[in-house]
Amino acid sequence: MFRKHIVLLNNLIIILFILIGFTVVELNDAFYFNSLAKKQVTNDVSLTMLHIS
C-alpha cells in the first residue's frame, strides 16, 4: 500500500516539474516577444518621424 503512494507521489512531482518548466518557458517567450514588439514600435515611430520631416 505504501509503495503505491510513493509511486503516485513521484508521478505527481514529475508532472508538477514538467508544468512548471513549460510555464517558465512560455513566460520567457511572452516577455521576449513583448520587448521585441516594443522595440519594433519604437523603430517604426522613429522611421516615420524621419520621413515626415
pTM score of the predicted model:
0.68
- For 14-42, what is each residue's pLDDT tens digit? 999 999 999 999 999 999 999 999 999 99
Type of residue found at 4: K
CA Rg value for the chain: 23
**What confidence category does residue 47 fall into, taking pLDDT thresholds of 50, 70 and 90?**
confident
**What confidence category does residue 53 fall into, taking pLDDT thresholds of 50, 70 and 90?**
low
C-alpha torsion sign, points 46, 50, 51, 53: positive
CA–centroid distance for 44 within its chain: 25
For the chain, the domains span 1-53
pLDDT at 48: 85
The DSSP 8-state label assigned to residue 53 in this structure reads -
